[in-house]
Structure formats: structure tokens, C-alpha cells
């Protein structure tokens, strides 16, 4: 049943892939004390993920932040640690158009390595927003759209990206996408 629901969700999300010259509004849940593990800088990681997709699209995608959750096509929500997920993209309708709520689980397993924690949040934002753009899971471990349902070393998945970072600002310079992710994005917006 869970796989069936995931398939239906993916079909709905696929229909919301952004088209050329589309402006997509987004909203990021404020980081509050109620959200254990949330860091004030997490909103930047979500913004950087969308900027990476915008850049990979050759600027055919354009994302604009809104203060209104109700008006946002993409809604980043900080998931409760009890959800048991890294993230999940849930299709929603916004003014008759397909959008997505992007649930991002805040990691507990990064230890004292703040950059590893930020890596996990950023890559999850990137992956889930990819679903919001209509991209499907892949079997290729190098892809941001890779699904852990195919196996693979989760520690290495995040670790290989983390090893490219010296500072938090380096996240902006390293998209985390493979060439195949870029091709899939371009094909989805044509």
C-alpha cells in the first residue's frame, strides 16, 4: 500500500514540473524553539537548494520567496524526528496548480560535525525539491535523486559531499547534482 501511495504521489508531483519562464513561489517554515534540532541557518540551505536547481536549469526556472504559506507552490517544513524519514514530498494544490510540501527531517546523527549536519539538510532539501519539480528517483548512487530503497551506503552518500566542503559557504558552490540530474531536469522543463 505504501508503494502504491508513493507511486500516486510521484505521478501527481511529476505533473507539477515547472515550465520555461515559470516563477515558482516558495515558503520556508520559520525555525522555532518548538522544532527541536532546527537551526536558524536551515532556511538558507533550502534557499540554496532552489538556487542550485535554478542554475542547473540555465535560469529557465525562477524561485521567489513569499511570506504567505497559503500562496507558496513549494513549502519547506521541518519534520519531526519521529517521522522516520530523511524527507518526503507531498503533492498539494495551490490555486488550481500542483505544488508540493517538502518535509525535511533534521538530522541527529551528525555528531559534532556541523558541516555534516548542514550537508544532510541541504541534500535533503535538494532531493525533495527535485521531486517538487517532477523528478523521479534513480538507481544511480551519484544522483541527488537516488533512492535509498535501492541500497547503498547512506554514510558515504552524505560523506562524499561533506568531504568537498571546508566552510558552510562552500555548499553554495557545490550543487550536489550529477550530470544525469541536470539532464533529467532539462528534459522535465522542455
Q: Which of 56, 63, 65, 61 is nearest to 145 (CA)?
A: 56
Tell me the mean pLDDT in the region 10-26: 58
The set of cell numbers assigned to 176 is 550536489
Model pLDDT for residues 100-120, shown as the tens digit of each residue: 999 998 877 677 899 999 999
Would you say the pTM of this structure is higher than 0.85? yes
Mean of pLDDT over the chain: 86
Residue 54 pLDDT level (bands cut at 50, 70, 90)? very high
Residue 33 pLDDT level (bands cut at 50, 70, 90)? low
- Look at residue 76 in the predicted model and tell me its pLDDT: 96
Distance set, CA 89 to CA 10, 99, 128, 181 (Å): 9, 10, 6, 17
- Look at residue 2 in the predicted model and tell me its pLDDT: 43
Model pLDDT for residues 108-155, shown as the tens digit of each residue: 767 789 999 999 999 999 999 999 999 999 999 999 999 988 888 988
Range of the domain at 31: 2-189
Residue 20 pLDDT level (bands cut at 50, 70, 90)? very low
- How many structural domains are present in the chain? 1
Give the torsion sign (CA, 54, 129, 24, 170).
negative
Tell me the mean pLDDT in the region 158-178: 97
DSSP SS3 for 133? coil
Residue 8 phi/psi, 5-degree rounding, is -65, -45
Name the more confident of 20 and 40: 40
Q: Cβ distance 79 to 102 under 8 Å?
A: no
The enclosing domain of 106 has a CATH number of 3.40.390.10
Amino acid at each position: 500500500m505504501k508503494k502504491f501511495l508513493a507511486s500516486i504521489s510521484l505521478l501527481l508531483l511529476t505533473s507539477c514540473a515547472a515550465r520555461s519562464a515559470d516563477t515558482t513561489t516558495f515558503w520556508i517554515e520559520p525555525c522555532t524553539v518548538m522544532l527541536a534540532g532546527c537551526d536558524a541557518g536551515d532556511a538558507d540551505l533550502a534557499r540554496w537548494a532552489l538556487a542550485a536547481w535554478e542554475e542547473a536549469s540555465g535560469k529557465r526556472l525562477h524561485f521567489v520567496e513569499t511570506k504567505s504559506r497559503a500562496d507558496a507552490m513549494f513549502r519547506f517544513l521541518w519534520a519531526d524526528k519521529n517521522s522516520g524519514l530523511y524527507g518526503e514530498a507531498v503533492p498539494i494544490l495551490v490555486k488550481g496548480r500542483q505544488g508540493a510540501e517538502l518535509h525535511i527531517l533534521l538530522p541527529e546523527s551528525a555528531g559534532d560535525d556541523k558541516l555534516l549536519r548542514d550537508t544532510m539538510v541541504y541534500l535533503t532539501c535538494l532531493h525533495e525539491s527535485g521531486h517538487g519539480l517532477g523528478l523521479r528517483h534513480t538507481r544511480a548512487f551519484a544522483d541527488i535523486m537516488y533512492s535509498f530503497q535501492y541500497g547503498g551506503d547512506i554514510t558515504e552518500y552524505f560523506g562524499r559531499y561533506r568531504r568537498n566542503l571546508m566552510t558552510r559557504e562552500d555548499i553554495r558552490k557545490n550543487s550536489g547534482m550529477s550530470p544525469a540530474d541536470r539532464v533529467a531536469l532539462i528534459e522535465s522543463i522542455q
